[in-house]
Amino acid sequence: MTRSRRLKTLGLIGLLCAVGGTALAECADVPAPGVNWRRCVQDAQDLRGVDLSGATLDDASFKRADLSGALLAGADARRAKFVSTIMHDIDLDRARLIRADLTNAELTGASLREADLTSARLFRADLSDADLTGARLANADLLRAVLAGATWIDGKTICAEDSVGQCHPTRAEPAISDIEPSG
C-alpha cells in the first residue's frame, strides 16, 4: 500500500471514529429539552417524568422503557421504536412520530394533540383515555389498538368502550328531560 493511500485510509478511520465518538457522547447525554438522541438505544430505561420536549429522537429505540409522565411535546421521533414501552400520561403534543413503531405501547391517558402519526404502527397499542385531537393518522396501523374512552381526532368524539382498531362513538346519554317519570 502506498504512503498516500495509507494516509487516506487512516484519515477515513479517524473521521469515522470522530463521528462515532460524537454520536456516543450524545447518546450518553442526560435527558433534557432539545437533547439529540438520534439513533440512540435507550431500551428498558426508566425515563419517567423526563422532559424531552423538542428532542431529536429519529431512529432511536425505547423498547420496553418507561416514559410515564414524560414530556415529549414537539419531539422529532420519526421511525423511533417504542415497542412495549410504558407511556402512561405522556405528553406527545405536536410530536412527529412518522413511521414510529408503537406496537404494544401503553399510551393510556396520553396526550397526542396535533401529533403526526402518519404511517405509524400502533398495533395492539393501548390508547385508552388518550387525547388524539388534531392528530394525523394517515396510513397508521391501528389494528387491535384499544381506543376506549379516547378523544378522537375531531376533538369532540369520545370512543366507546368497545373501540378496538377504530373509534366507535359513544352513544349519547339521554337527557334528564327525555326520561319519563315512572309511576
User: What distances in angstroms separate CA 138 from CA 66, 115, 142, one per listed residue?
Assistant: 27, 12, 11
Average pLDDT score, the chain: 87
Tally of structural domains, the chain: 2
| 127 and 62 belong to one structural domain | yes
| Contact present, 168 and 162 (Cβ < 8 Å) | yes
Taking the CB of residue 158, how many other CB atoms lie within 10 A of it?
Answer: 15
CATH number at residue 45: 2.160.20.80
| 5 and 76 belong to one structural domain | no
pLDDT at 162 over 90: yes
Does the residue 182 lie in any domain?
no
| 59 and 23 belong to one structural domain | no
- pLDDT tens across 18-45, in order? 444 434 558 999 999 999 999 999 999 9
Domain span at 10: 1-30
Does the residue 109 lie in any domain?
yes
* DSSP assignments along 81-124, one per residue: B-TT-B-TT-B-TT-B-TT-B-TT-B-TT-B-TT-B-TT-B-TT
User: What distances in angstroms separate CA 34 from CA 67, 164, 171, one per listed residue?
Assistant: 16, 34, 42
| Grid coordinates given for 1 | 500500500
- pLDDT tens across 76-87, in order? 999 999 999 999
Distance (Å, whole) CA 122 – CA 177:
41
Does the residue 180 lie in any domain?
no
| 93 and 160 belong to one structural domain | yes
